[in-house]
Amino acid sequence: MTSVGTPIASTAGGVSNDTSRTASRDNLEKAGERFEAIFVNMMLKSMRSARLADGLFDNKAGEQFRDMQDQQLAESMAAHTPIGIGKAMTEFLARSSTAPAPPAGETTT
């Protein structure tokens, strides 16, 4: 049950056309960091699936723990040692939107 007034209800496929969140540079940077974390996590999953043989102690519980560990590692990598894809996405979105305001405390020259 969706209301008629929501942006999601007015678009096909459930994709919102609301771009008000891109008006803030802080939001763009958070989105870029989150995108990078998701990208790194997918990369780690892909590398884990390319193993050559099953380990002696492999089981579902170990796989689930490893997946959670990989997710935390990906988020930490995105926050502290980014590979740059999140920053590239942030810059692309900043250029494509109407000049977002700088983060609080920063001045533009």
Average pLDDT of the chain, as a whole number: 77
| 101 contacts 25 by C-beta, under 8 angstroms | yes
Which of 7-11, 48-52, 53-57 has the largest mean confidence? 48-52
Alpha-carbon distance of 60 to 77, in angstroms, equals 25
Domain boundaries, the chain: 23-51+84-98
Using pLDDT thresholds of 50, 70 and 90, give the confidence band for residue 48. Answer: confident
68-86 confidence digits (pLDDT tens): 999 999 999 888 888 888 8
pLDDT value of position 8? 46
Q: Give 17-21 contacts, CB < 8 A, sequence gap 24+.
A: 19/97
